Amino acid sequence: MRTHNLGYPRIGSRRELKVACENYWAGKISIAELLYAGKQVRQENWKLQQEAGIDLIPTHDFSYYDQVLDTSLMLGNIPPRFLPLVQEEKKSFPTLYFAMARGYQKGTMDITALEMTKWFDTNYHYLVPEFYKNQTFGFVCTDVVAEFVEARQQRINAKPVILGPVSYLLLGKEKETGFDRISLLKTLLPVYADILNSLQKAGAIYVQLDEPCLALDLEEPAKQAFREAYHYFGRECSAIKILLATYFGELGENLPLACSLPVDTLHVDLARAPEQLDDVLAQIPDAMSLSLGVVDGRNIWKNDYAKSLSAINKAVKAVGDERIWIAPSCSLLHSPCDLDLETNEDVLPGKVKRWMSFARQKLNEVVDLSKLSASRPDKETENLLVANRQVQQSRISSVLIHDLSVQARVAAIQDKDLERGLPFCERKKLQAAILNLPLLPTTSIGSFPQTKDVREARAKFKKGTISEKDYTEAIQKFTREAIEVQEEIGLDVLVHGEFERNDMVEYFGEQMNGFAFTQNGWVQSYGSRCVKPPVIYGDVSRPASMTAEWIIYAQSLTSKPVKGMLTGPVTILQWSFVRNDQPRSATALQIALAIRDEVADLEQSGVKIIQVDEPAIREGLPLRKAGWAEYLEWAVKAFRLSVSSAQPQTQVHTHMCYSEFNDIITSIAAMDADVITIETSRSQMELLDAFINFKYPNDIGPGVYDIHSPRVPSVTEIENLLQKAMTLIPAGQLWVNPDCGLKTRNWDETVQSLKNMVQAARNLRSGE
Ligand code: GLN
Ligand code: ZN
């Protein structure tokens, strides 16, 4: 039996890589310094995996921005609009690399970034590969070999990790019509073979090819592509052993396909899909080894050793221990780095911490499990099992977790609690009379630039170095400035700016029961952006008002309406580490009741517009269509429960971003928000295709510019997008807003962009 790992967090346990990247972008450090910081993180990761006793350690799981972007560069897949950067300025990495990630604006050059989207159902975002009809590929960026060699020099037993060719194609998008990206497989395979053979020549025995798409519903051409690709490797790269990694779900009807491929080892996710083990054991061919992903790479609970061992023992019995590998379920990219760094009892109480495990601890779990499944474990090893059993027991019976009043409230939810008093058309009239907004009203999504001053004020207050009074005054000052700027820009519906919020989920979690936090539990979201998800460990409730004070203050400064700003129940659920001892839907309803209390509070304070953000609603969708209906039903229910107590004259907004919504547009409509603002501009309003056949009933603001990039959109560009929108959505239903919150931008970009946006709306209004 052997242990291995599929990938390790690359941000560094103290976010060293984030800091280095951002300093580099700001011109504060050189490229050499950035590369050095990356190398440090990489080598430290290898070392600690080695010290934990992991047999095979991943390389090339490291990235300065995103592993899919790295794959595109490795394969020489550089979209034509970036070629001037390669040719004229002879700039490859890092200018080209970061331009593809973040866009490029300098002199006359103005190049948009690659589109970004969710990595399966995680909160990680990847850069979408672009494909063109006569596309060619080549082994261009050879970091994969360099990193392997680097690891070997450190005496690391390295296993390079590469995104497999079929998933790479499936995860991308055609940028021209008249062809299917799968047809590029033939051109792509020789390049992959070149890479695999180069690795083998450099000394690699194993290579891990990630094919997470095997956990999706696949059409026949995609299945055929898998056969073609892996049989090709079987012929052309027979000297290197392939570990085919699947994760994030069950193989399901793709299991026979996976088992038919000529690979050395198949990795399956037994955290997400433990029930697939029997079928896998029944179908796996004799020549194939099996990697059991028993340690959950996506949640923070301690592994239940007894449960994992029963799976491992079953597998060993079926195929013999030489063919069994033990591993986390997926890359540990989705776990925070190290629980040992959590030392503050006020943030993460020891009573909760003892139930948890982060990436570093998960490595130990993998090793423990392999020791425990040895035929005759020694006494010390057996104690590991006893200790683990005690931890599991203490969780089941803990009074920290169970709140009977919350459970009773959930049980009493009725259908009428999910309905607004009047239908949308009636509500719209009442709201119009109160709000008096122009055609094409302009607004923003909520947050304004989180400058150094803003972050410092919060940090000082948290540390106790400034008083509550000084803190409140500081936040009020930021809010006042934000209101002034918005009035000057000429926006119609204002926001308070969210300066008091570190994060849209953490801010709420900190004020609710049932949540715990971490000091260093960062997980990469995209590029240098990291999130620190709260831990929902018990029944959720809201003891006191969470937001009213700030909104009331902001509203007192202006005669324009200021939106109350809340995070929705599905997003809070989705962006937290959630309990694994009850269904997600049960936790969602508890959170919804807490948000419902907050909505009532805001209304009572005279707030006329309340926005309940649900950017994460789509990412919660099960990967396979068969599970969609059930999920959407409880997700929509949770949202409606959170807002439906609002009076008809209160305008409820929601906001969504980061992914494609076309396929769930009817559920979005069923949420019945009066206004939805939604990301679309990075994909040039592809969202609008959904409105060709579906008449969206309520008001909608498709984002008119991308806030993930520092680029300032022109007035004409925004007007064009709005005009495009108006061909499908009547102007009377249309709002004008950016794609998402502006917290990551600076004020200059923000003001210029919003001014252009307001100007575009004004031009169109007067043209009516
Ligand atoms: N209101 C939040 C903000 O503006 C929404 C963020 C999001 O959609 N991710 O930051
Ligand atoms: Zn957003």
In short, whether 613's Cβ falls inside 6 Å of ligand 1 is yes
Q: Which of 765, 740, 736, 763 is nearest to 750 (CA)?
A: 740
In our burial notation (b when 16+ CB lie closer than 10 A, e otherwise), range 423-456 reads: ebeebbebbeeebebeebbbbbbbbbbbeeebee
Ligand 2 centroid to Cα of residue 703, in Å, is 9
CATH of the domain spanning 56-79+114-245: 3.20.20.210
**Nearest protein Cα to ligand 1, atom 3:** 741
In short, whether 743's Cβ falls inside 6 Å of ligand 1 is yes
Q: Among 447, 454, 657, which is best to mutate for testing ligand 1, by the most ligand atoms less than 8 A from CB?
A: 447
Q: Among 118, 450, 504, which is best to mutate for testing ligand 1, by the most ligand atoms less than 8 A from CB?
A: 504
Whether 570 and 624 have beta carbons less than 8 Å apart is answered as: no
The neighbouring-strand residues paired with 265 are: 243, 289
In short, whether 656's Cβ falls inside 6 Å of ligand 1 is no
Q: At what angle do helices 468-489 and 452-463 cross, to 10 degrees?
A: 160
Q: What angle do CA 402, 598, 502 make, to 5 degrees?
A: 85
Domain 431-451+490-766: which CATH number of 3.20.20.70, 3.20.20.210, 3.40.50.300, 1.10.10.410: 3.20.20.210
Ligand 1 centroid to Cα of residue 615, in Å, is 8
Ligand 2 centroid to Cα of residue 462, in Å, is 26
Ligand 1 centroid to Cα of residue 503, in Å, is 9
Q: What is the pLDDT of residue 687?
A: 73
Which residues have a Cβ under 8 Å from the Cβ of 360 and sit 6 or more positions away? 13, 48, 52, 337, 338, 339, 340
Q: CA-CA distance, 741 to 443, in Å (whole number)?
A: 11
Whether 702 and 686 have beta carbons less than 8 Å apart is answered as: no
Domain segments of the chain as ranges: 56-79+114-245, 431-451+490-766
Q: What is the pLDDT of residue 192?
A: 98
In the predicted model, residues of the chain with pLDDT beneath 70 are 88-92, 658-659, 681-684, 768
Phi, psi of 92 (to 5 degrees): -105, -130
Ligand nearest to the CA of 498: 1
Task: Give the pLDDT confidence of 519-576 residue by residue, as tens digits.
Answer: 999 999 999 999 999 999 999 999 999 999 999 999 999 999 999 999 999 999 999 9
Q: What is the pLDDT of residue 768?
A: 53
- Environment of ion ligand 2 (residues, CB < 5 A): 615, 657, 740
Half-sphere exposure of 277 (CA within 13 A, CB side): 24
For residue 606, give both structure tokens. Answer: 């005279």
In short, whether 565's Cβ falls inside 6 Å of ligand 1 is yes
What is the residue type of 38? G
Ligand nearest to the CA of 505: 1
Ligand nearest to the CA of 657: 2
pTM for the predicted model, two decimal places = 0.91
What is the residue type of 615? P
For residue 206, give both structure tokens. Answer: 């194993």
Whether 233 and 195 have beta carbons less than 8 Å apart is answered as: no
Q: Given the CA of residue 565, which atom of ligand 1 is nearest to it?
A: 1
Ligand 1 centroid to Cα of residue 650, in Å, is 20
**496 carries an active-site annotation:** no
Q: What is the pLDDT of residue 90?
A: 54
Q: Which of 150, 271, 258 is nearest to 209 (CA)?
A: 258
Q: Would you list the DSSP string of 531-577?
A: E---EEEEEEE--S-SSHHHHHHHHTT-SS-BEEEEE-HHHHHHTSB
In short, whether 655's Cβ falls inside 6 Å of ligand 1 is yes
Count of residues in the chain: 768
- Label residue 132 exposed, middle or buried (CB < 10 Å: 0-12, 13-18, 19+): middle
Q: Among 116, 445, 454, which is best to mutate for testing ligand 1, by the most ligand atoms less than 8 A from CB?
A: 445
Question: Is-same-fold flag (56-79+114-245; 431-451+490-766)?
Answer: yes
Ligand nearest to the CA of 568: 1
Q: Among 613, 659, 677, 681, which is best to mutate for testing ligand 1, by the most ligand atoms less than 8 A from CB?
A: 613
Q: What is the pLDDT of residue 747?
A: 97
Ligand 2 centroid to Cα of residue 191, in Å, is 37
Whether 755 and 487 have beta carbons less than 8 Å apart is answered as: no
| Radius of gyration of the chain from its Cα atoms, rounded to whole angstroms | 26
Whether 764 and 723 have beta carbons less than 8 Å apart is answered as: yes
Task: Give the pLDDT confidence of 334-353 residue by residue, as tens digits.
Answer: 999 999 999 999 899 999 99
Q: CA-CA distance, 743 to 90, in Å (whole number)?
A: 33
Q: CA-CA distance, 281 to 381, in Å (whole number)?
A: 27
Residue 620, Ramachandran bin (φ over 0: left; ψ between -120 and 50: alpha; else beta): alpha
Distances (CA, A) of 595 to 381, 606, 633: 46, 17, 18
Q: What is the pLDDT of residue 290?
A: 98
Q: Which of 10, 727, 657, 690 is nearest to 335 (CA)?
A: 10
Ligand 2 centroid to Cα of residue 677, in Å, is 8
